[in-house]
């Protein structure tokens, strides 16, 4: 009898916390998910497992990041709790620890930055996204999607190939059906490989570009400033900058401005 058992990561909702967001440049509320490692039998875990850390997502911009098990003093279940309440209950020292970034955010929102400072902040914002890229690309969801698609395609291709190589006398016109199934299997594998090859561009466009827009909107760079910054960063080797379109970025940054 085959017994499928081992350990797996278990995700459980922990609550809400307060933290300083480098994209928002402000104290924001974050959704916290508890990550544990627990034993399983046939993929089913009964316990929440040993704590290994937390996964956080900013409620304002959507930035995701990991946190250590002892990063917060507690969690708040109230979905309507404001940021000040979350700071007091979950992260009392966050303002002192991030004083410089918070002061910078206030200056930006109040319009007290020079043109030179704005240009430097645009460059820094994109460079920060380059630091986030490796973790975003290596997220388990992308690998899982590749394995599922490729595995299904491989199974369909193998089964249909066996049907073509060993035709049954009673099968009649099933050869054409096997050919269609074989072609579908190859297409699924090709699609999985395509998604894997283009995963970096997909990650930048789908996950990091919205963060870039959210971070740059308070700075208000125009299209020429964006184009110049992205060209400079691309020349320095920035992967994110190579996949961002300054015209599209400028249009998205201008959406909602002045409303």
pLDDT digits (tens, 9 = 90+) for 88-135: 999 999 999 999 999 999 999 999 999 899 999 999 999 999 999 988
Coil/strand/helix, residue 193: helix
Express each pLDDT in 6-54 by its tens digit: 676 778 899 999 999 999 999 999 999 999 877 655 555 666 677 888 9
pTM (predicted TM-score): 0.77
223-235 vs 246-254: helix axis angle to the nearest 10? 140
The count of other CB atoms within 10 Å of the CB of residue 109 is 12
Specify whether the CB–CB gap between 189 and 175 falls below 8 A.
Answer: no
Residue 172 has pLDDT above 70, yes or no: no
Lowest mean pLDDT among 86-95, 138-147, 150-159, 237-246: 138-147
Q: What is the pLDDT of residue 47?
A: 64
């Amino acid at each position: 009898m085959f017994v499928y058992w081992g350990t797996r990561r278990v995700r459980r909702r922990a609550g809400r916390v307060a933290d300083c967001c480098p994209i928002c440049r402000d104290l924001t509320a974050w959704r916290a998910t508890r990550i544990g490692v627990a034993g399983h039998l046939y993929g089913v875990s009964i316990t929440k497992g040993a704590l290994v850390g937390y996964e956080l997502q900013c409620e304002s911009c959507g930035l995701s990041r990991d946190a250590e098990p002892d990063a917060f003093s507690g969690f708040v279940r109230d979905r309507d709790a404001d940021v000040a309440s979350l700071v007091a209950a979950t992260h009392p020292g966050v303002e002192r620890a991030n004083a410089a970034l918070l002061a910078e955010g206030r200056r930006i929102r109040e319009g007290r930055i020079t043109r030179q400072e704005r240009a430097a902040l645009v460059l820094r914002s994109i460079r920060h996204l380059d630091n986030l890229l490796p973790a975003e690309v290596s997220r388990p969801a992308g690998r899982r999607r590749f394995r599922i698609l490729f595995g299904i395609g491989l199974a369909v291709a193998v089964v249909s190939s066996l049907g073509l190589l060993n035709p049954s006398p009673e099968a009649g016109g099933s050869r054409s059906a096997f050919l269609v199934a074989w072609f579908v299997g190859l297409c699924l594998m090709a699609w999985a490989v395509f998604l894997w090859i283009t995963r970096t561009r997909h990650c930048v466009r789908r996950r990091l570009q919205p963060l870039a827009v959210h971070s740059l909107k308070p700075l208000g760079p125009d299209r020429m400033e964006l184009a110049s910054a992205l060209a400079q960063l691309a020349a320095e080797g920035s992967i994110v900058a190579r996949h961002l379109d300054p015209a599209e970025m400028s249009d998205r940054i201008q959406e909602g401005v002045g409303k």
